[in-house]
Amino acid sequence: MPMQAELILDARNSVGESPVWSPRDQALYWADIPNKRLYRWNLADATTQSWEADEMLACIAQRADGSWVAGMESGIFQLSADDDGRLRGERLVGVSHARDNMRFNDGRCDRQGRFWTGTMLMDMAAGARVGALYRYDGAGQSTLPVLLDDLIVPNGLGFSPDGRTMYLSDSHPSVQAIWAFDYDIDSGTPHNRRLFVDMNDYPGRPDGAAVDADGCYWICGNDAGLIHRFTPAGRLDRSLEVPVKKPTMCAFGGANLDTLFVTSIRPGGDLDDQPLAGGVFALQPGVRGLAETPFGT
């Protein structure tokens, strides 16, 4: 596969998000948030399936048995697909949002299999600092305590290969920051928050991210059509182009974990200059990623 981004599905997603490679299924899964839809793209034959959920579906993590948990509107859900194309959700734990009209956004598991995800106001333009970050450890947890607040659009969650550094971004134009934290892998606690990259210095707003096997941090530059790779020291290593302005999140996958899959947004209005907006793309960046730790490991 060339370095140039290849379209794998002209999905026309309103807000494609949370691409997750499943080694067990040899398939890429992702969500279209406002359309409440989960997608699966199969590597073997490039076929696609999709299922509609009852709530907006923002971020997903697979369990070792192949089932999925998801951050949705009202909490963290266990998902199961029906034959009729519906996605049934069983709420595992509810969330107490700071306001009405909020939902989960970006999320992923730490290297121990705990699910981290943040919330945002659906009206992102309001710029309200009501978003919060949560961790769901699994069965037996009946509440979601706020672990970090004062966020607008939490995004870019990622973990270093040894699991001891956690990354988080805030995509809002008034913030555009990526932070790093020291991460206690025994307790699942981040501390020593510091600025990792000020994205005001680079093209694009920080959106979703992935960490590669070298420990470098790949982040989508929303509005700039770029995916940036930063070293663990926060130095820009390279930027790759995608043929859409609003890439949202990236994930390593493919048989050798050497493909970078990228989801995107299809905004309203004139799309003459980006007809593939909302599509899902694959790049061969020349480095390998790491398999996601299944939820509940």
Ligand X SMILES: O=C1O[C@H](CS(=O)(=O)O)[C@@H](O)[C@H](O)[C@H]1O
What residues form the annotated binding site for substrate?
103, 105, 123
What residue numbers does the annotated binding site for a divalent metal cation cover?
A: 17, 155, 207
207 is catalytic: yes
In terms of DSSP H, where are the helices of the chain? none
Strand, helix or coil for residue 215 = coil
Active-site residue, from 32, 110, 170, 207: 207
Nearer to ligand X, 28 or 152 (CB): 152
Q: How far is the CB of 186 from ligand X (least distance, A)?
A: 30
Q: How far is the CB of 230 from ligand X (least distance, A)?
A: 18
Instruction: For residue 201, give the DSSP letter.
Output: G
Rounded Cα distance, 255 and 17, in Å: 21
Nearer to ligand X, 32 or 258 (CB): 32
What residue numbers does the annotated binding site cover?
A: 17, 103, 105, 123, 155, 207
Rule CB under 6 A: which residues touch ligand X? 15, 17, 33, 105-106, 124, 153, 155, 171, 207, 222, 246, 248, 265
- Picking from 123, 134, 7, 150, the residue whose alpha carbon sits closest to that of residue 59 is 134
- Residue-wise burial string across 176-205, b where 16 or more C-beta atoms lie within 10 A, e elsewhere: bbbbbbebeeeebebeeeeebbebeebebb
Task: Dig out the tokens for 223 from the structure.
Answer: 């509005």
In the bound complex, which residue of the shown chain has the CB atom lying closest to ligand X? 171
Question: At 69, which helix (H) or strand (E)?
Answer: strand 68-71
Nearer to ligand X, 226 or 265 (CB): 265
Q: How far is the CB of 67 from ligand X (least distance, A)?
A: 23
Q: How far is the CB of 34 from ligand X (least distance, A)?
A: 8
Q: Which residues are catalytic?
A: 207
